[in-house]
Amino acid sequence: ARRLLLNANYTYTNSKLKVGAGDTIIFADGTQFAAQDFFRDGSPLTGQSDHLVNFQIGLDNTDRVSQQTILVNYSSERVTNRGPAGTPQQPDIVEKPGLRLDFVAREEFKIRGKGVEIKFEVRNILGTRYQEFQTAGERRIDINTYDVGTSFSLGAGIRF
């Protein structure tokens, strides 16, 4: 029997640093610095997207291994690294993950009485690029930006 699978979730997070005038940073050698020299009050936490969306739709066979699934993921921009300290402090380095579309399929067959499973995957179908950058006013400086490409994978396993 075949069944339709639907999964979805959305997460909203609003995370910010709180840096006050009296806050200090203590380095390993004991030297102290004003936290405001390294962090900006109200900056988002590193690695935290404000918006995360995951959606999955697929078909599944309850009698044997047979699955076909489409996965859609979206992440809004997130800070990956704090901008280098200095006067003035440089802007944070931001990643733009964007939208990603994947397809995964698994099928099991019998060959001479043995279970053979074939798995096929297509990842990043839309060809979403990896983008890390800094912005200063209207200017954007790419730090680490490249084409990830679409990947295809085919695998097989056998049970004895």
112 in the Ramachandran plot: left (φ > 0), alpha (ψ -120 to 50) or beta? left
Q: What phi, psi does 70 have (nearest 5°)? A: -110, 130
Task: Give the residue among 71, 65, 142, 131 at the shortest CA–CA distance from 96.
Answer: 131
Question: What pLDDT sits at residue 113?
Answer: 87
- Tally of residues, the chain: 160
Mean pLDDT of the chain: 93
Euclidean distance between CA atoms 65 and 110, whole angstroms = 11
Please indicate whether residue 102 or residue 65 has the higher confidence score (pLDDT): 102
Euclidean distance between CA atoms 103 and 1, whole angstroms = 21
Euclidean distance between CA atoms 97 and 123, whole angstroms = 14
Asked if 99 contacts 131 with a C-beta cutoff of 8 angstroms, the reply is no
pLDDT single digits (tens) 70-91: 999 999 999 999 887 666 778 9
pLDDT single digits (tens) 13-33: 999 999 998 999 999 999 999
pTM for this predicted structure: 0.82
Euclidean distance between CA atoms 8 and 13, whole angstroms = 17
Asked if 24 contacts 17 with a C-beta cutoff of 8 angstroms, the reply is no
